[in-house]
Amino acid sequence: MSEQAARVPFYRELYVQVLAAVVAGIILGVVDPGLGAQMKPLGDAFIKLIRMLIAPIIFCSVVHGIAGMQDMRRVGRVAVKALLYFEAVTTIALVLSLAIVDLWRPGVGMNLDPATLDAGSIAQYTAGAKHLGAVDFLMHIIPSTVVGAFAEGDILQVLFFAVVFAFALSLLGDRGKPLVDLIDVTMQTLFKIVGFVMWTAPIAAFGAMAFTVGAFGTATLVSLAALLVEFYVACVIFILGVLGIVGWLAGFSVLRLMLYLKEELLIILATTSSETVLPRLMTKLRDLGCDESVVGLVVPTGYSFNLDGTCLYLTTAAVFLAQATNTHLTLGQEIGLILVLLLTSKGAAGIAGAAFVVLAATLATLDTIPVASIALILGIHRFMSMALTFTNVVGNGVATIVVAKWEGALDETRLRQVLGSGRPSKATLNTN
């Protein structure tokens, strides 16, 4: 830890300010729910500011990383290793959550009739809940126009164009170096802007938490406490059990990684959006010793293909609704649920209320559990989103370190040094 960083008063630390803002937001939401609910624009504005920067940051990071590689075959190796890891870990997440919800049985005894639920409250989600087949999903990755991909902020489409652009740029050799340098300067400028935006995070955290508590109240939490507790326990078991073992095998502690990412994780808990920390996550993983090209490929791809928390949520919610509506699921139907979720969970990136929309699409595909029953969990969806987005980001941090190690693109000495201190380097602090 640098002497300068050690002299910074604790109240100037971003994570302390965010934590204080979260507590203040909760208090306002409880004391004056109406006023608390009106604080929503503070959180929404912060999310929009970050989303404004995500597409160009991903483009610059991926292009600069790939164009700087001498061996283009390495890009393919990194991508294949990352996708294999993603599929293995998300499958474990689906199976684990299925086992926990089957054993815990939080919905048993509710005996709800879906016909009595307010279907109108979920219309905005079910309207877009159409199932995408494998071909449709792959076709969607290719943008209709380059400008459209950036305008809509579709991570996969921007990533696709960035990879193609980087390959073409690398073939230009020395003639392309001025453009590579320009992209590097542009990327550093964008990260500086992220640093400016991040200092408004406490205001955003205050507004987001005040809205959450003010709009949904504590009554919703009490009525569905069994599901909420079960889901949070499932996330903890997955992080400490599955990701903990993966980290141990790779030579690092997941607990130390979470301590290192404490500011980002607190922001996620308040805003329930993993996109808000994507730029900083990429910066901090590079600071840990992960090669820039690996970070540039794995993190953006992971935001669509490595959604561990979303997988936990989808399985837990689907089986809970089956239990609550007395819909019996056979072992074959539960296996079918896992197989469907392996595909539908990949469509949960870049959509407002993504996990809820994907849940509706999955139930519509299975045609076993009443789709209208998702109205039952609408009130606590935001509270479940806190845990699922938290798990998603921790999972992508672990994935990046693991893939970097597999590829021989990890400075393990630096990894141990930075995680041991629990703080980013002075250069990263200045950037952010």
Average pLDDT over residues 235-260: 95
In Å, how far are 14, 34, 263, 272, 389 from 39, measured between CA atoms? 21, 9, 21, 15, 21
For the stretch 243-255, pLDDT in tens is: 999 999 999 999 9
Asked whether the predicted pLDDT for residue 82 surpasses 80, the reply is: yes
Please determine, for residue 236, whether its predicted confidence score (pLDDT) is greater than 90.
yes
pLDDT for position 276: 83
**Residue whose C-alpha is closest to residue 107's, from 338, 301, 380, 404:** 380
312-341: per-residue pLDDT in tens?
999 999 999 898 888 888 888 888 888 888
The answer, yes or no, to whether residue 147 has pLDDT greater than 60, is yes
Rounded to whole angstroms, how far apart are CA atoms 368 and 330? 11
The mean pLDDT value for 409-417 works out to: 92
* CA nearest to 111, candidates 318, 313, 316, 322: 322
Distance between CA 338 and CA 335 in Å, rounded?
Answer: 5
Q: Which residues contact 342 (CB under 8 A, 6 or more apart)?
A: 87, 90, 91, 94
Of residues 317 and 349, which shows the higher confidence score?
Answer: 317
Q: What 3-state DSSP class applies to 1? A: coil
Tokens linked to 13: 């630390």
51-66 confidence digits (pLDDT tens): 788 888 888 888 887 7
- At 406 the pLDDT is 93
Q: Is pLDDT at 18 greater than 70 in this prediction? A: yes
> Where are the alpha helices (H) located in 11-122, listed in sequence order?
14-31, 33-37, 40-67, 73-104
Q: What is the pLDDT of residue 415?
A: 93
Taking the mean position of all CA atoms in its chain, how far away is CA 290?
A: 19
Does the pLDDT value for residue 257 go beyond 90? yes
- The one-letter amino acid code at 416 reads R
For residues 359 and 403, which has the higher predicted lDDT (pLDDT)?
A: 403
Non-local CB neighbours of 201 within 8 Å, separated by 6+ positions: 14, 17, 18, 21, 46, 263, 267, 276
| 391 has pLDDT over 50 | yes
For residues 21-43, give the mean pLDDT: 89
Task: Determine contact, residues 339/142, Cβ cutoff 8 Å.
Answer: no
pLDDT, mean over the chain: 82
Domains of the chain, CATH where assigned: 3-431 (1.10.3860.10)
How sure is the predictor about 352, in pLDDT bands with cuts at 50, 70 and 90? very low
pLDDT of residue 219: 63
- Residue 348: per-residue pLDDT: 58
Find the mean pLDDT for residues 162-184.
86
pLDDT 10s digits, 190-215: 888 888 888 888 998 898 888 878 87
Decide if pLDDT at 73 tops 50. yes
pLDDT band at 272 (very low <50, low <70, confident <90, very high): confident
By C-alpha distance, which of 393, 33, 58 is closest to 220? 33
Assign 3-class secondary structure to 357-410. Answer: HHHHHHHHHHCCCCHHHHHHHHHHHHHHHHHHHHHHHHHHHHHHHHHHHHCCCE
Is residue 68 very low, low, confident or very high in pLDDT (cuts 50, 70, 90)? Answer: low
